[in-house]
Amino acid sequence: MPSLYLERYAWPQELFPSYQPHKDLAQIVVIPCFKEPDLVGALESISDCQYPNGKLIVLVVLNEPENASKEIRQANEQTLKELQAFRCNYPLLVTRQRLPEKKAGVGMARKIGMDEAVRLFRKVGKDGPIVCYDADCRCDTNYLEEIERIYENPDAQAGIVFYEHRLHRDNHEAIVDYELYLRYYIDALRYAGFPYAHQTLGSCITVRASMYEKVGGMNTRKAGEDFYFLNKTIPQGGFVEINNTTIRPSDRVSDRVPFGTGKAVNDLLNATEEYSVYHPNTFEDLRLFFQKVDDFWTKDEWKVPRTISTFLEDDWQAQIQTLKGKVSSQEQFRKRFFHWFDAFKILKFVHFCRDEFYQNVELEEALEWLRSKHLFVKGSKESYLVQLRYLDRETRI
What domains does the chain contain, in order, with CATH numbers?
4-166+196-255 (3.90.550.10), 280-356 (no CATH)
Per-residue pLDDT of the chain (397 residues), as tens digits, is 779 999 999 999 999 999 999 999 999 999 999 999 999 999 999 999 989 989 999 999 999 999 999 999 999 999 999 999 998 889 999 999 999 998 999 999 999 999 999 999 999 999 999 999 999 999 999 999 999 999 999 999 999 999 999 887 666 788 999 999 999 999 999 999 999 999 999 999 999 999 999 999 999 998 899 999 999 999 999 999 999 999 999 875 455 555 445 554 455 445 547 789 999 999 999 999 999 999 999 988 899 999 999 999 888 899 999 999 999 999 999 999 999 999 999 999 999 999 999 999 999 999 999 999 887 888 899 999 999 999 999 865 4
Where helices occur in the chain by DSSP H, the ranges are 4-8, 39-47, 70-85, 106-123, 143-151, 172-192, 209-214, 225-233, 261-270, 280-290, 293-298, 306-312, 316-324, 330-340, 343-356, 363-374, 381-394
- Strand pairing category for 129-132 and 92-99: unpaired
Alpha-carbon dihedral 303, 305, 310, 313, rounded to 10 degrees: -30
What pTM did the predictor assign? 0.92
* pLDDT value, residue 386: 94
Question: In angstroms, what CA-CA distances link 379 with 10, 191, 276?
Answer: 49, 21, 18
- Closest-CA residue to 211 (of 240, 190, 242, 244): 240
Overall residue count recorded for the chain in this entry: 397
* pLDDT value, residue 252: 58
Q: How far apart are CA 301 and CA 324, in angstroms?
A: 13
* pLDDT value, residue 222: 87
* pLDDT value, residue 169: 64
Say if CB 189 and CB 373 are below 8 A apart. Answer: no
Say if CB 330 and CB 294 are below 8 A apart. Answer: yes
3-class DSSP assignment, residue 161: strand
* pLDDT value, residue 263: 53
